[in-house]
């Protein structure tokens, strides 16, 4: 899989052309939609909040945060502020905002009972900013923060005076102070390797956050998604029932479970060769976990075909 992080710095990679391509691609839109919805689900907000969108891009995620028609937002009307480093991405957002305005005006002319659609891009604000320089908001500004496919860019060293670790520290520290005392932060990101996950978790822990990592579709190579789920207040995963808390299931601050797979492989290599049948059963199980359609098992599974005459 290609990593845009390795090609160019974010503000250069997402240029005019790339931003347009990204924003108008229906597959990207769909993936962003699914991940934003999942992040909101993890945030588990109970009332209309002020949310920080880190690396908002063209605000595909912002639109979903404040969209009233989403089930996760039932009865709530969130407002958000987005930060992004790419001016071209923000320009796309401005274009989309104008389009939305135009469409809404159109609606209200043709249909007087449109009941005033709320939410969408007009609930948000955008800013051109480099998150490695810190989050420029005063203490206790936001109820929650969300970040979709952005924070892995912090590992880039695009400039001689960039020190990734320092920048990540600055990012988490300033974010911690910009959130309210029960503030929550969910970030979906694409780690290049396990070390990056470790680094994020370690620095977040040092800063004072509690929480951990949630991995969706852990068995799938393509659809595996990492969510960093953090909270400013103290909490333990035992209190998952508490309505104010993050929706944490399977999150942990240590990364040991990620390494399990490697060990499993090692064990298999040392052991005896497995039979054909158990090989087929194992592969079937794996495909099922990855969400593929798999034929059910029967007494014929893995059996040899009868010889023809």
Q: Which residues bind another protein (CB under 8 A)?
A: 47-50, 68, 76-79, 81, 83, 85, 90, 94, 115-116, 118, 125-130, 133-134, 136-138, 140-143, 159, 161, 170, 174, 180
Q: Which is nearer to another protein, 143 or 152 (CB)?
A: 143
Residue in 146, 189, 178, 176 with CA at minimum distance from that of residue 41? 146
Shortest Cβ 239–another protein spacing (Å): 23
Q: Which is nearer to another protein, 115 or 298 (CB)?
A: 115
Beta-carbon count within 10 A of 296 CB: 6
> Can you tell me which residue has the tokens 């588990």?
44
Q: Which is nearer to another protein, 115 or 270 (CB)?
A: 115
Residue in 278, 282, 267, 286 with CA at minimum distance from that of residue 303? 278
Shortest Cβ 25–another protein spacing (Å): 23
Shortest Cβ 126–another protein spacing (Å): 5
Mapping DSSP to helix (H, G, I), strand (E, B) and coil, where does residue 93 land? Answer: helix
Please, which residues have CB within 8 angstroms of residue 297's CB and are 6 or more apart in sequence? Answer: 281, 284
For 248-267, letters b (16+ CB in 10 Å) and e give beebeeeeeebeeeeeeeee
Shortest Cβ 68–another protein spacing (Å): 7
> Can you tell me which residue has the tokens 């860019």?
153
Question: In whole angstroms, what is the distance from residue 290 CA to residue 309 CA?
Answer: 40
Shortest Cβ 78–another protein spacing (Å): 7
Q: What are phi and psi of 286, to 5 degrees?
A: -60, -45
Q: Which is nearer to another protein, 126 or 229 (CB)?
A: 126
Shortest Cβ 116–another protein spacing (Å): 4
Q: Which is nearer to another protein, 166 or 261 (CB)?
A: 166
Q: Which is nearer to another protein, 72 or 197 (CB)?
A: 72
Question: In whole angstroms, what is the distance from residue 192 CA to residue 267 CA?
Answer: 25
């Amino acid at each position: 899989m290609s990593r845009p992080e390795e090609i160019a710095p974010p503000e250069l990679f997402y240029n005019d052309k790339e931003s347009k391509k990204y924003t108008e691609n229906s597959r990207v839109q769909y993936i962003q939609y699914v991940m934003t919805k999942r992040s909101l689900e993890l945030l588990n907000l109970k009332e209309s909040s002020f949310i920080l969108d880190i690396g908002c891009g063209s605000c595909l995620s912002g639109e979903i945060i404040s969209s009233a028609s989403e089930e996760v937002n039932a009865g709530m009307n969130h407002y958000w502020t987005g930060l992004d480093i790419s001016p071209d991405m923000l320009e796309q957002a401005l274009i989309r905002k104008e389009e939305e305005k135009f469409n809404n005006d159109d609606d209200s002319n043709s249909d007087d009972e449109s009941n005033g659609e709320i939410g969408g891009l007009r609930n948000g604000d955008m800013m051109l900013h480099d998150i490695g320089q810190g989050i420029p908001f005063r203490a206790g500004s936001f109820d929650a923060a969300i970040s979709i496919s952005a924070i892995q860019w912090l590992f880039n060293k695009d400039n001689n005076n960039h020190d990734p670790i320092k920048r990540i520290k600055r990012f988490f520290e300033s974010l911690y102070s910009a959130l309210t005392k029960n503030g929550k932060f969910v970030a979906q990101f694409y780690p290049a390797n396990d070390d990056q996950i470790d680094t994020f978790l370690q620095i977040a822990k040092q800063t004072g956050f509690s929480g951990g990592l949630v991995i969706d579709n852990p068995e799938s190579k393509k659809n595996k998604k990492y969510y960093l789920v953090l909270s400013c207040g103290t909490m333990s995963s035992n209190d998952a029932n508490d309505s104010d808390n993050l929706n944490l299931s399977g999150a942990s601050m240590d990364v040991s479970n990620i390494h399990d797979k490697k060990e499993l492989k090692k064990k298999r290599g040392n052991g005896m060769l497995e039979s054909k049948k158990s090989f087929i059963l194992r592969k079937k199980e794996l495909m099922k976990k990855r969400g593929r359609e798999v034929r059910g098992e029967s007494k014929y599974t893995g059996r040899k075909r009868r010889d023809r005459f």
